[in-house]
Amino acid sequence: MINSQLPILQVMVPLLAASLCAILPFRRLTWLIALAASLAALAISLNLLVLVLNDGPISYALGDWAAPWGIEYRVDALSAFVLVLVSALGSIIMVFAPTSLAREIDADRVFLFHAMYLLNLAGLLGMAVTGDVFNLFVFLEISSLSSYVMIGLGRDRRALTAAFQYLIMGTVGATFYVIGVGMMYMMTGTLNMADLGTRLPEVAATRTVIAAMAFIVVGLGLKLAIVPLHFWLPNAYAYAPTVVSAFLAATATKVALYALLRIVFTVFGGPAMIGLPVDQILLVLAIVAMFGASAVAIYQTDAKRLLAYSSLAQIGYMVLGISFLSATGLTATIIHLFNHALMKGALFLALGCIYLRLGSVQIEKMAGLGRRMPWTMGAFVVGGLSLIGIPLTVGFISKWYLIQAALERGWWLVAALILLSSLLAVIYVWRVVEVAYFQAPSDDMLQLREAPAVMVVPVWVLAGANVYFGVNPQQTIRAAQSAAAALLGGGG
């Protein structure tokens, strides 16, 4: 029965496709492989989601080695949700990619990009599917290494230093993570998440376990770009090819956040269990990110950097949801994880269209673009409104739950801060809108045309999703609520 093999196929399909791409130096062919693999991954993940929602979590023993000894793949509501998100965005971005890549990457390297993309996809999906903390480390490294290459593939030579910076920081993060894993193994003799979840409470009070948690949170915090650990992100997003920025912004940080949730709640059983005030630390860092990063975003001249800093602020919202340690808070985090992927996906892809025509995403050069490229800018505005949290977009739903979670805890000040910080988003989004719609275009822009349909359609699929899931969010909310319940239920 193929259904029982789905968890492993979820990873193997892109992984094998990646190796295939690496040995076939043809642009079109590798693109077809990458697209087909992404779509297959999407089909698998949708199947998994349906199975999980109907019949509960799925456990898969790799190589038939039973759970605590062998590697277990475990799919529950949360992981299935993340799998669908990653593979869906991967598929949409792949449809968009060829035209954009032709402009931003040398033609003879495009097949390498496809290989790296698939490797990255496999890594991200693997992180979400695995139930083993060391296996998670392996996939983390697969996805990280491939993303360093993807960032550096562009024609912009500044991308090389950005990739190098990310390489250093990412390696530090991964090392911290693996140190934490080693400590846990030392104390319990197991690497299986569920097994760790039952064994750790016995040794919870030891300093080793506390240190393990600290190492892991910092390590994943680096991948997630929680604010003081964020320095690699703005450069990486700004100088990478736009397709890469879109993919990483929409998926990589989301999966890192997933890993953090998984470790903190499933493995450690929540911060309270260990006695480390992770929640309070995250609360402070989240608020710093919400305000600091948004304030920096306001002063950016490059639209891609602007979005990168905005991502840092949005990650702050997700982290904030964790710090509430409540079902509503986690629901808000998971909803925003999904919603933010839709927003940033749409926004970065819109910038990809602009780069294609304009050769730049400097805000000042976008004067009058609203008339030249109405569809692209329209999608940008929709994404921007969603980022602000205007009702009828997904951003509003995220904000609603986040504030509700804050009020539920009685944290009035935090609720007020969430609202205040979202006003900063109005400023940085509106800077672009004003230039694009109310400044006269320069002369060399007069012959500018709208981007081709293969690019505009994916952008609008994502922009449309921002509205669709904003008007009709029951599915997202229900999935997020059951995922949050599974996390708090311990293992689930």
Partner 1 sequence: MSPETAIIAALAVPALGALLIGLAGRVPNLREAITLTTAAALLAIVISLVLAWFDGARPDVTLLEMIPGLSLRFTAEPLGLLFALVASSLWIVNSIYSIGYMRGNAEHNQTRYYIFFALALTSTMGVALAGNMLTLFVFYELLTLSTYPLVAHHGTPKAVRSARTYMGVLMATSIGLLLFGMIWTWQAAGTLTFTPGGVFEGKIYQPLTGILLALFVFGIGKAALMPVHRWLPAAMVAPTPVSALLHAVAVVKAGVFAVVKVIVYIFGVEHLRTVINFDWLSIVAGFTIVAASVVALRQDNLKRRLAYSTVSQLSYVVLAAAILVPISVAGAALHIAAHAVSKITLFFAAGSIYTAAHKTEISQLDGIGKRMPWTMVAFGIGALSIIGLPPTIGFTSKWLILQGAFEAQNSVAIGVIILSTLLNAAYFLPIIYVAFFRSESGEAAPHGEAPWPMVLALTATAGLTVVLFFAPGWPLALAQELAGIVR
Q: Which residues sit at the interface with partner 1, rule CB under 8 A?
A: 385, 388-392, 397, 399-400, 403-404, 407-408, 415-416, 419-420, 422-423, 426-427, 430, 434, 437-440, 471-474, 477
Distance of closest approach, residue 349 Cβ to partner 1, in angstroms: 22
Nearer to partner 1, 164 or 468 (CB): 468
Contact indicator for 153, 109 with CB cutoff of 8 Å: yes
| φ/ψ (deg, to 5) at 362 | -65, 135
Distance of closest approach, residue 434 Cβ to partner 1, in angstroms: 6
Token output for 328: 């509503």
Candidates 158, 352, 345, 340; CA nearest to 242 is 352
Q: What is the 3-state secondary structure (H, E, C) of 376-412?
A: HHHHHHHHHHHHHCCCCCHHHHHHHHHHHHHHHHCCH
Distance of closest approach, residue 389 Cβ to partner 1, in angstroms: 7
Distance of closest approach, residue 388 Cβ to partner 1, in angstroms: 8
Annotate 300-365 with DSSP letters as a single string.
Answer: -SBHHHHHHHHHHHHHHHHHHHHHT-SHHHHHHHHHHHHHHHHHHHHHHHHHHHHHHHHS--BGGG
Distance of closest approach, residue 439 Cβ to partner 1, in angstroms: 8
Distance of closest approach, residue 474 Cβ to partner 1, in angstroms: 6
| φ/ψ (deg, to 5) at 83 | -60, -45
Distance of closest approach, residue 475 Cβ to partner 1, in angstroms: 11
Nearer to partner 1, 447 or 472 (CB): 472
**Burial degree of 143 (CB within 10 A; 0-12, 13-18, 19+):** buried
Nearer to partner 1, 256 or 367 (CB): 367
353-370 as b/e, with b when 16 or more CB fall inside 10 Å?
bbbbbbeebebebbbbbb
Q: How many CB atoms lie within 10 A of CB 377?
A: 24
Nearer to partner 1, 77 or 122 (CB): 77
Nearer to partner 1, 50 or 419 (CB): 419
**Amino acid residing at 424:** L
Long-range contacts of 182-190 (CB under 8 A, 24+ apart): 183/208, 183/209, 183/211, 183/212, 183/215, 184/133, 184/209, 184/212, 184/267, 185/134, 187/212, 190/68
Distance of closest approach, residue 408 Cβ to partner 1, in angstroms: 7
Distance of closest approach, residue 416 Cβ to partner 1, in angstroms: 7
Distance of closest approach, residue 66 Cβ to partner 1, in angstroms: 40
Annotate 229-245 with DSSP letters as a single string.
Answer: G-THHHHHHHHS-HHHH
- Looking at the DSSP bridge assignments, the partners of residue 72 are 61
**Burial degree of 55 (CB within 10 A; 0-12, 13-18, 19+):** exposed
DSSP 267: I
Nearer to partner 1, 265 or 469 (CB): 469
Nearer to partner 1, 191 or 429 (CB): 429
d(CA 462, CA 342): 6
Nearer to partner 1, 199 or 399 (CB): 399
Nearer to partner 1, 47 or 439 (CB): 439
Distance of closest approach, residue 403 Cβ to partner 1, in angstroms: 5
The sign one gets for the Cα dihedral 488, 337, 226, 96 is positive
Nearer to partner 1, 198 or 404 (CB): 404
Q: How many CB atoms lie within 10 A of CB 174?
A: 20
Token output for 167: 């390489």
Token output for 488: 């708090």
Nearer to partner 1, 415 or 432 (CB): 415
